[in-house]
Structure 1
Amino acid sequence: MTLYYGNVPVPFTASWSSEEAMTIAPCRYAGARPAVCQAISPGVGRPLFAKPHMVRQRQAMARDLCNLCGRPLKGRTKVSLSHASVRFNAAEGSAVLQVEPLLHRECAAVSVRHCPSLQRDIAEGRLDVRRVTRSRVQLAQLTGAATMEFCGVSRPGTVGHAKIEILSSVSMPLEWLQGASSP
């Protein structure tokens, strides 16, 4: 179920101002490994659009859920809206790695209409619309400095955000999203 702030849809993975407290704890979406976790109270306070919630972001990745609506992607067209480029630190060499979970095509169309960051990327010609045909999840391991910044304690090797490794995709024109119906 998509939450709204006024009449703006808030991504399932967005943090809310009531969720800023972070700690290190075992996380089921990180295979019960120690991970940076956050307070959980979606819909309370104001959305922090540019700060993905650590646990919901990993949940969306691990369970193959849509970044916007939080519903399963299985059996649906999966879309990446990113300006992420090929990196050389993927599990087996080079691949596109991104921290943004994938979206349903319809939810991608909604995101493009409402997200100022995506609108900026479009205006600057930096947005890649990809129909993802094959991907897998990787878990980022944080440095001690990163866990100190998030949680006030140095714990190198703690899991942070998950990443999608896009193994196969087809670039699509932005107009392709306009043909999508509402979710």
Structure 2
Amino acid sequence: MSESAKLSALKVGVDVPWVTSWTGEPVLGVRPCASVNGALAIVQADNAGYGKPLYSQNHAVRQRLTIRDMLCPMCGQPTTPEDRYTQVAHPFAAGSLRASGRGDALPADIDDDRILIDAGAIAPLHKACSSRSLRYCPHLKADPHIDVRAFPRSWVVLPLMARAEAPPQLFLAQARPARAIPVIGFLQLCGLTDDRDPAWRNRQPLAG
């Protein structure tokens, strides 16, 4: 039996975050995925707990589910508005996110000076799960950018796109070459605050 086929003694959601990929979960390719309402997305086998955990790699489908359904990435259970904490609170003006090229999908009615909490691709955790992970995870303990905050009650979700190569096709007996198509990899989460930064443009890096 290969290593990737063996059930690990490590418990998913306790010893290893629910969102983490395992060596027994190969990428299956690109196909319509229910986690993003049938849009084309990268998908993986669902065999959490088999093989070895890949702590630095989130499982593509489970990551999207944590953002879509507000599931704790540590235990995999739903979070509530009263118990929802981010460990990677990065406040940004919406205009800064747009200027960086990562905010093209932000709704137009969000003003540029409105402050967002950019949580990246990491959904909020339960407070107890956050405390546990910070206590035991060596990567988190060594990260100087950890900033634990209660997550806002409103948010927007943005797709993080990747490019996949579509195979060559025949059309009217003529071969069409392979082409790259955009697909969804992960989902990005931005909390909406009521704070404003009228001077956000002054904090933009100067063009080199």
Q: How does 1:2-151 map to 2 (within 5 A)?
A: 5=10, 9-82=15-88, 84=90, 86=92, 88-89=97-98, 90=103, 91=106, 92=110, 93=112, 95=116, 96-121=118-143, 124=144, 126-134=145-153, 135-142=155-162, 144=163, 147=164
The alignment partner of 2:152 has SS state of: strand
Determine helix, strand or coil for the equivalent of 1:5. Answer: coil
Task: Note the C-alpha offset of 1:101.
Answer: 1.3
Question: 189, 199, 208: which one pairs with 1:164?
Answer: 189
Contact 2:27 2:42 in 1 (8 A): no
Counterparts of 1:51 and 1:34 in 2: how far apart (Å)? Answer: 20
TM-score (norm 2): 0.67
Structure 1: 4+ residue segments shifted above 4 A: none
Deviation at 1:137, TM superposition (A): 1.9
For residues 109 and 118 of structure 1, the distance between their equivalents in structure 2, rounded to whole angstroms, comes to 11
Q: Secondary structure at the match of 1:82?
A: coil
Cα 1:83–1:136 shift into 2, 3 Å = closer
Q: Would you tell me which structure has more strand in proportion to its own residues? A: 1
RMSD across aligned positions (CA): 2.7
Using the TM superposition, give the Cα deviation of residue 97 of structure 1 relative to its aligned residue in structure 2, in angstroms: 4.2
AA in 2 matched with 1:137: V
The one-letter amino acid of 1:127's match is I
- 8 Å Cα contact 1:60-1:67 kept in structure 2: yes
Gaps of 5+ in 2: 1-7, 166-177, 196-208
Aligned length: 158
Decide whether aligned partners of structure 1 residues 108 and 97 sit closer, same or farther in structure 2, where only a CA change above 3 A counts.
Answer: closer
Give the Cα–Cα distance (whole angstroms) in 2 for the partners of residues 10 and 128 of structure 1.
21
Q: Is the 8 A contact 2:11 2:49 kept in 1?
A: no
Q: For residue 73 of structure 1, what is the amino acid of its counterpart?
A: T
| Higher share of residues assigned helix | 1
Query: Partner letter of residue 15 of structure 2?
Result: P
Structure 1 runs not aligned, ≥5 long: 171-183
**Which residue number in structure 1 is paired with residue 199 of structure 2?**
none
TM (norm. structure 1) is: 0.76
Pair 48,85 (structure 1): closer, same or farther in 2 beyond 3 Å: farther
